[in-house]
Structure 1
């Protein structure tokens, strides 16, 4: 996939920006707090339907404006024209695809695909389980946009079930008939999510190790025995080690396993007023050698694992549909010279890469160069 143009109206600190882009590398250079990350955030929003930085769309709307508009034109790997437009406003967002209004935002999200690497990705190793669950969900949403809808259905079912449990805790009475209905809905929506997440862990296993080994190859500190291990840890207590080539798990079996786990914890759930098992309590374990990466990996190893996860995501997403764009938000500044060179070599194989940098001198990539300053983007001479 190639992004040919990006148009922003009242997005973050941009009153208006119109960019024409070419295949290969586009480098956006400028001091901090000038708007470089905002450009990549807008492109990533088209892929995920949300910002990677904040939970509220309103933060993307320029102060004083009623709405923000993100428009982009791209070419698919089969040379199909794709034009998308999103208008973000309080109340209800609006979307267009190839000039035609769409009833649902989901009909537009994911048409322009991307993988974002950013300093925040270090939280994949250092952060809470929620950060790693979000990584898997973003990967699956980027692979198939329909997953976003399935994940939303699960969130709604969980919210309804939690509300019932909270009421049961307050009243001391369990509305069993209603609780059974929402438990059925919850486990049936959770099954496909669990199956997709476990399948993603299997698909990532070898590519993550390969990308990690490539990033640290020939590094003086590299230990060939310390390669990443991935496993999916279900709230039921069962662990699934990532192994490439494994079949997709049966959603019905996973739903039944979850149902049994919920039944065993019903008393605790009522006392605490919340659902104690399911995808929202699972963990993506990241190991380095025989130890957990969180707490045991060095800073360089943590960065290499985070980068390897995102680089491997590119291939997993590309297995279904177009090659995603690669967005690198000030990543090179976080790496030593060795990892910069290795990452640049990986990026050279991608169709299109958008890179931000405060200086530009630490980015060993050639391509189009833009200057970003105070919400203005100009092509560098």
Structure 2
């Protein structure tokens, strides 16, 4: 495996770092406090060509690969985990089309998202179907050249501000193999954002309940022109799991840097906190965890670029996602402990990092789902230490 970053990787990382420091860092606390969508984040990321990193160059994307996106996400998540999700959301909402759509669908539906002309969202989760993806109740009924979609989707990241969504529904009730993906313009009659969630963290990107009340779409809005089964949503989720881990790595790096700077300045027992072995060991353990997680995430990104995100290969992506997101929670907690009472105050960003980190172990497959995937790989010998 090549550990050196390419020139393109370095340029994308540096662009993201610049946006993070100049635009995101000064606004992160306010965005969290008000829970107002930060359009300035979106426009800055668009201007830096960071919204379509994995999307085809022919339609306006950078086609720079998953590692490049992971690097960009890592940089912005140091200051605001919402910004990392904002970068990732364009891919989440279009990878199914990129993988399985027709050339015309890629041009029509991926291009505007890649160019930052439209915001998009991925509509999979339902009130009774979260981790159990096969249990979707959403249905799509054929009516001539149209499909009529009836569904309620919840916890949809970016849904309340989306211009288009990709929604998964079954064409045959009870049959997971009939699961199809449809691209829906949010101005279509019958589509409604019925509520916006009040969240513990990651407040810069709203989530909500989206209702599809007999929404009519043309047949050419069905991705690939036929039901994709479970491979549609799962290929997309697998391909982006390392990037959820990248959000965790960035968050942990930001928390560690803040705690270290505080420990250098704060004096106790006759010297700075950094003179105390208890603090030194905390910082060292935080660094060890970050470095291990970063390697797993970068390897996961590389595996996706090699096309290894299918059912027989996805376990290493689950390893990266589970470890990096759980690591972020541990590191955020330790960073608060270093600051003591100050860490608990809203005057410092660590309590926000702590709240944001908790989301990461739930989205794009919970930690428990990741362990189920890893255990199955061990039992089936797709992952072996023999």
Going by fraction, where is strand more abundant, 1 or 2? 1
Q: TM range, normalised to the smaller chain? A: under 0.3
Provide the TM-score with structure 2 as the length reference: 0.26
Going by fraction, where is helix more abundant, 1 or 2? 2
Provide the TM-score with structure 1 as the length reference: 0.26
Larger radius of gyration: 1
Structure with more relative contact order (C-alpha pairs < 8 Å, separation 6 or more): 1
